[in-house]
Structure 1
Amino acid sequence: MEKADVIPSIVLSAHALARFAAQDAGNEAPSAQWRALSILEQKGGMRIGELAIAARTTQPGMTRLIGTLEQAGLGTRTTDPADTRATLVHATDAGLIHLAEWRAELRDTLAPRFAGLADEEWIVLQRAAEILAAHAQETTTTGEA
């Protein structure tokens, strides 16, 4: 495998693992919900358009998702103090708790798939997770994350 081929392999494997975990756990919440809450957890309040770009979705789609999050008590909208014509979206405390519970559910559901790994393999995965997390946080030249 070429060096550059490792990156899409990791991304595709991560998507597959997330699907397996959601199916195995019976979690029916859309992945867009977790993605939006994760972004809000990391970046704090954001305008809907900025959140849509960060989540790689449309603004109308994000507006609908935020409505769903609000109805569930997981997200809220406030007026942007820098521009009262604009709205900021925030994850609520309940939304952040729900996100942490989902992450624990992912961990617990996927743990059996990795039970046979040797300590050395865990060290490799831990380092890979650190590298991936660092690169997932970097900002591109256009200012998008």
Structure 2
Amino acid sequence: MRSKKSAAVLAGALAAGSILVSAPAASANSYCSSSGYTESGLPNLRCTKLTNGVLSHGKRDLYPTVGTRVTTTYYKSGGAAVTIRLGWALGGGNVSYSTAFSVSSGQTHSRSWTTSANNLCLNSTGFLSTSTNTYQTPAAHC
């Protein structure tokens, strides 16, 4: 169960830019509610529970510089190794994908991108693409 105090502390740390939303521990990646929220409950970190893992997507302001750091993470909890690409899209725009790489059960992989504008409050979505399917998170926002 989420506590309001821990969510407030995490929200403050994210706002201050002291927490990067990339490559969290496997246990942190394993929780994803049916409404697409991670354990923190913050709207700028969203997730999708998959059969063999959790896909999450988050972003943070790069204060005091201008820009936003977006990160898409996949924690693979089971099944055979698979080749994937991680990506993200702002609004309904084109998806920017990483190069392909292999991920095995028990591994967490993240890819991050930096925008030159402050896009923290604009909707962004994380993507995971395999040779046969594409999955996405709900939109992250502020």
The bucket for the TM-score relative to the shorter chain is: under 0.3
The structure where strand makes up a greater share of residues is 2
Normalising to structure 1: TM-score of the pair?
A: 0.26
Name the TM-score, length of structure 2 as normaliser.
0.26
Higher radius of gyration, 1 or 2: 1
